[in-house]
Amino acid sequence: MAQPREIAERLLDAQVEFLLAEVTGDRFTEVIGRDVAAVLEVADTVVFRDVVTVEDAKQTLRVVVDRIGGGPAIGDSVGVFADAIYDNIARNGDYTLGDVVDREPVEALLEKIFGMHQAQERLLDRLTESPLVATVASKFVDRLIDDFMESNRQMASKIPGVGSLVSFGASAAKSARKAAEKAADGTFIGEMAGKGALFALKRTNNAIREMLRDAPVHGAAMEFWDLHAGEPVSGLRDYLSQQDVRELAQIVHGIALTTREKEYFGLLLDECVEVFFTKYGDHTLAGLLPELGLSEEDIRTEILRYGPAVVESAKRNGVLAGLIRERLEPFYTSDVVLGILGELTA
């Protein structure tokens, strides 16, 4: 008569074979369908806030945000992905920009941006507080004046006697401006020049305000969109070079990496968790799936999409059978089981 340990080993072999058969071929599909349904049935009886605390969720979200994207694989791939996207855009003439992005959300976005008068007012006011911006505005005005004078000079040169008069006037204006620039270091003229630049900037801001509020800027922006919407996606490469796209992608990735390390960003994540618990804390785990846009069929489909290949690979090299045996063997060789088998064979 077989000894208890020998029987235990035979039972262990039988269960390992049974479990391997459960994940083979069509049987795997049946098992996944059965188990997913069973798990969701249990999940429908478990309330989210009963199994997940707010503090645990905050810690988990912080870990996820801290880990995802920080590994070398993502950092090394940013440039490669940017190059791949650019290459695809550059040679893709089958799709237009309008095929990729619908007009309605673009129109709604522009309408919202142009309607954000409070943000526009604040931004323009803050611009006037910057001495450097005033300097830029002054240089911009100087450039406009230079271009205007050059245009007049070219036209005047075609009229006998007028060209030399305009040239003299331009030379006098340049001399006066150079004198003002030399005196701009703390002198009365320099102070007046600075005030003049600031005044010009404020007047420019007023013009911008009026234009955004009254002029058909939204319609003009949509005209610009419509002009491009019918063009192939490949036309986008005229705006940015491949190097520009790569560098922009790397800069954005760098901003994302450094921003998430700041304490304030962690506080924002905590606030998101609080809001989520307020809205969904009383849902069951299964009830959260529709809110996340998932269904039982989605879960089953995705498991079946990748599961069979992984399982077959693990079976082929014997890893799966070894793992199953490793988990079950302590039970079959335990004193309790051997004792039961000993009683049955006595």
Torsion angles phi and psi, residue 284, rounded to 5: -75, 165
DSSP string covering 45-65, please? TSBHHHHS-HHHHHHHHHHHH
Report the phi/psi class of residue 293: left, alpha or beta, with left for phi > 0 and alpha for psi in -120 to 50.
left
Let me know the angle formed at the C-alpha of 306 by 305 and 307, rounded to the nearest 5 degrees: 105
Residue 115 has pLDDT above 60, yes or no: yes
Residue 225 has pLDDT above 50, yes or no: yes
C-alpha 281/C-alpha 276 separation (Å) is 7
Residue 54: what pLDDT? 95
The runs of H, that is alpha helices, within the chain are 4-22, 26-43, 48-51, 54-67, 72-91, 97-100, 103-114, 117-128, 131-156, 162-182, 188-214, 217-229, 242-259, 263-280, 285-291, 296-316, 319-332, 335-345
Contact 20, 321 (CB under 8 A): yes
Span 9-26, pLDDT tens digits: 999 999 999 999 998 888
- Structural tokens at position 270: 């905590």
Residue 183 has pLDDT above 80, yes or no: no
Residue 293: what pLDDT? 92
| Domain edges within the chain | 1-46+284-321+335-346, 96-231
Torsion of CA 245, 251, 257, 260, to 10 degrees: -110
Tell me which of 76-80, 131-135, 176-180, 337-341 is least confident: 176-180
Confidence class for position 91, pLDDT limits 50, 70, 90: confident
Span 188-202, pLDDT tens digits: 444 555 566 667 677
C-alpha 301/C-alpha 54 separation (Å) is 31
Span 57-82, pLDDT tens digits: 999 999 888 887 667 778 888 889 99
Residue 233: what pLDDT? 87
Provide, rounded to the nearest whole percent, the portion of the chain with pLDDT above 70: 80
Span 261-287, pLDDT tens digits: 899 999 999 999 999 999 999 999 999
C-alpha 304/C-alpha 33 separation (Å) is 9
In the Cβ-directed half-sphere of 272, how many Cα atoms lie within 13 Å? 13
Tell me which of 98-112, 139-153, 201-215 is least confident: 139-153
DSSP string covering 64-97, please? HHHHTTTSHHHHHHHHHHHHHHHHHHHH--S-BH
